[in-house]
Amino acid sequence: MNELAHLYFADAEASYEDAHYAIFGVPYDGTTSFKPGARFGPRAIREASLNFESYDPSTDLDLYEIPIADIGDLVVSKIPGDLVDQVADVAGEIAGDGKIPVILGGEHTATIGAVRALCPDVYVVCDAHLDLRDELDGTPYSHGCVTRRVFESVDDVVIIGARSGDREQFEIARERTRLYTADSVRERGIGVILSEILEEVEGRRVYLSIDADAIDCCLTPGLGTPEPFGMTPLDIREVVRTLAPHAVGFDYVEVAPFDSGQTATVAAKMVREFIARHWIAER
């Protein structure tokens, strides 16, 4: 019989037992409040990953030399709170086996479960939105409540790229987080901001979450809640390259692939960047 193909993230060829990085998808957009479609993000990111050469010239690594497993997608619950529990179970099991979980989204709600399972010292998120509502559309586990729920597990929160939220959310962010708006990234430069963040995270366990809408929607338009005047893909790459060595988990979420592939392509590249930089640092 001919060999049958299964869609894996490119170069994720290790068995789970041998892997140091375990990729899984969360094809969920059950609380989306504007444009649905993020449920198709994990597949689109995997498809986009197949476009790239295995060799990464910036690290002089071939990705196939790194032990990466793609363990597939969650069969997701439609209930947001149950979805959070599902993600927490899988991320916790991966971490308990001594591996680094890498999540493909899917909406941002998945992050709540990962953070709850991994209990990092610092949560760093790139996001157009503050996500500090206590509840949205009848659930505290909406994509608009993610950072608010993270407060229940992590005291130290850093938000980069925000440019949307009501007055109350901005007041909470200024009081309880280190907030770097998209305007401050443009005015000060991402390098300066990352230097400040590095001083705080050195020697501490970081969870890094990238919401695709942190990037200006004119550059990556496959988004459920698009916002203009945002960060650039190069800004996000610098965040990933700088913070990956400190991370105990990573996700790239809110890819809604109804564009021409730009958003999923950037996401796939950032997953590769995270794994390569984390691997180099550990070696």
Q: Is residue 80 part of a domain?
A: yes
DSSP label at residue 158: E
Q: Is residue 13 part of a domain?
A: no
Query: What does the pLDDT read at residue 1?
Result: 45
The alpha-carbon radius of gyration of the chain (Å, integer) is: 17
Q: Is residue 56 part of a domain?
A: yes
Look up the domain containing 201 and give its range: 21-282
The domain that holds 247 is classified in CATH as 3.40.800.10
Contact 106, 211 (CB under 8 A): no
Q: C-alpha angle with apex 36: 31 to 37, nearest 5 degrees? A: 120
Q: How many domains does the chain have?
A: 1
Judged against a pLDDT cut of 80, whether residue 4 lies above it is answered with no
Task: Tell me the pLDDT band of 51, cut-offs 50, 70 and 90.
Answer: very high
DSSP label at residue 245: G
Query: What does the pLDDT read at residue 283?
Result: 83
pLDDT digits 0-9 by tens, 6-21: 689 999 999 999 999 9
Task: Tell me the pLDDT band of 5, cut-offs 50, 70 and 90.
Answer: low
pLDDT digits 0-9 by tens, 170-193: 999 999 999 999 999 999 999 999
Q: Which two tokens stand for residue 107?
A: 């909406």
Q: Is residue 156 part of a domain?
A: yes
- Counting residues of the chain whose pLDDT is more than 90, the rounded percentage is 96
Q: Is residue 82 part of a domain?
A: yes
Q: Quick one: CA dihedral 72, 78, 83, 89, positive or negative?
A: negative
